[in-house]
Chains A and B, each alone.
Chain A
Amino acid sequence: MQQTRRPVSPGHEPAVLAELLGASKQFGHGLAAVQAVQGLDLEVRSGELLAVLGPNGAGKSTAIGMLTGLAAPTSGRARLFGCDPRDVRARRRMGVMLQASGVPETLRVRELLTEFRGYYPAPLPMAQVVRAAGLDGLESRMFGELSGGQQRRVLFGIALAGDPELLVFDEPTTGLDVEARRGLWATLRDLARSGRGVVLTTHYLEEADALADRIVVIDRGIVIAQGRPAEIKARVPGRRVRAQTSVSLVVASQWPGVVRASREGPWLELLAGSAEPILRALLDLDPLVSEVTVTEPSLEEAFLALTSDMEAAR
């Protein structure tokens, strides 16, 4: 069904830092059981930026939880530097930024960074952590006195503090303004370029596209696509075309790039990679076409298209 893409030169394959092997996670028991993630395969190599993309509730945080040893998989395996993710030796090589972490408000920024730097054998010098996380001048402030954006930066600094080989970020840009987001992207790229492995979760296709070397798309706990950003984008419909037309569903489904077609009375709706070929074909076949609109489908719809795509292929 899916194939993992690996670099072609087998002798110089970057090391696998962390992986999930057929990992499933179920919360609760019996009738109340919720299958959060099912049979997830995931791997991160050094020097690689992997984006785990999916809508809210897709199981992204559960996947991160298993990868970092917060939650043991119900079945399958999680490996961190070849060890159990709960192994302290493995954790000394990883830095993590979780989605919501209520940091004690009465500790100062410097104290928080010192605390986490102390856990690691060769931490990043304090000045470098402060600079990389953009915390200059805030070192003596208590966490509770910081703004939301500044607090996120402290959490980012905590992830960097140990100078780890693997960095895991759960939705790092949520709640950041556009400028801060761009800044963080640049830092994340630098981190991957320096030879570290970086995993991040996001529900923005744009973000995954701009940053990642590889994207894994998950929805309702299963991988629905993975590959390089260009490959993923080619499969995700970029445009929704809606029009009143007499063109039949069967004909329209055959047009280039059409992922999904549906009809509702006089309305024909198409999801496709781009709008132009569709519009050309539409005007050619039906000069009387009216009420044409072109919009961008939501990520949810894009994921749905991918899902039905996969189901059709089964």
Chain B
Amino acid sequence: MITPTAIRRTADAGTQRSNPAKIYVTEARHEFLKLIRIPIFAVSTIALPVMFYVLFGLAFGGGEDGGVGEDGGVGVTTYMMATYGTFGVIGAALFGFGVSVALERGQGWMRLKRVSPMPPQAYFVAKVVMAVTVSAMIIGALFILGATLGGVRMPAAQWISLGLVLLLGALPFAAMGLAFGYLVGPNSAPAMLNLFYLPMAFASGLWIPIHQLPAFVQGIAPALPPYHFAQLALGTVGAAEGGSQALHAVVLLTFTALFLAVAAWGFRRDEGRTYG
């Protein structure tokens, strides 16, 4: 029961100011807590890529010399650290954004946020921070496994550049998730995303190296954003398929712009929606 307490206006009203930096920090922290407390999210986005790396990267291609290939090229554990890193980051960005936006649109949480004085950017910035944080956790786990069990040996500069490329790769896929969040309903969002995510990951060579895939799959890979992301990540460890790294970056940026345009359209469409 709501107690009829006398509510007085605080005497110092108007003298304090809300702290914008604090809003962003709180928002990002809650965004992270909100998702990490959902077991299915934590398990499928963090544990799955790590487990795949252990099974396919370490168990099959592992061993003492897994970090270095037989012909002096890149070993399986190094190669797959890049591709499963790509897979993990895409999952975190896609699901962290897509499912939560679809849910929060459908349930009206976003409307409550929109009538509040929250800066609208804070909502999206918080989700980006969350996606990057979860990505960092996945990358960290893969790096530790790679360096210890996988015997991956690289110069520090390569570790850093691979880590950075993987982290930055969260952005295009966050945009993709956002676009999805505006296109699909709250109930179908997880299923729809998986329907795109898993085949796309396979066809882009995130599970099995692209050169081992059937020719026709190799043919469609360049049309898929994860392929370009994976090639950028592989490029940092000297295992890219060839083709210009700059071109991969441009393709990803173009996809990002496209996804953001779709999301912006969805955002505006929501403004005119029936509210009963």
Binding site for B on A (CB under 8 A): 27, 34, 36, 57, 61-62, 65, 68-72, 88, 91-92, 94, 96, 98-104, 106-107, 111, 114-116, 118-122, 124-125, 128, 131-134, 142, 153, 155-156, 158, 160, 162-163, 168, 179-180, 183-184, 186-187, 189-191, 194-196
Contacts and interface: CB of A to CB of B under 8 A. Distances in A.
B26 A115 contact: yes
A27 B116 CA distance: 24
Contacts of A122: 10, 12-16
B1 A180 contact: yes
A243 B235 CA distance: 90
Given A34-B274, A61-B276, A116-B116, A111 B30 contact: yes
Contacts of B16: 121-122
Contacts of B190: none
B3 interface: yes
B275 A61 contact: yes
B45 to A, nearest CB: 15
19 contacts: A27-B272, A61-B276, A70-B115, A96-B112, A96-B116, A98-B115, A104-B30, A107-B33, A121-B16, A121-B18, A128-B5, A131-B5, A134-B1, A163-B13, A180-B1, A180-B2, A187-B4, A190-B4, A190-B6
Question: What 6 A-B pairs come out closest when comparing CB atoms?
Answer: A102-B107, A186-B4, A106-B37, A91-B117, A183-B2, A134-B2
Interface of B: 1-10, 12-19, 22-23, 26-27, 30, 33-35, 37-38, 103-104, 106-109, 111-112, 114-119, 271-276
A48 to B, nearest CB: 16
B111 A101 contact: yes
Given A101-B109, A102-B103, A132 B7 contact: yes
Given A128-B5, A194-B7, 12 more contacts: A36-B274, A71-B273, A98-B115, A102-B109, A104-B30, A119-B116, A121-B14, A153-B2, A162-B117, A163-B10, A180-B2, A194-B9
Contacts of B9: 163, 194-196
B107 A99 contact: no
Given A102-B108, A156-B2, A163-B13, A118 B271 contact: no
Contacts of B274: 27, 34, 36
Nearest to A88: B117
Contacts of A68: 115
B5 A190 contact: yes
A268 B152 CA distance: 94
Nearest to B3: A134
B114 A70 contact: yes
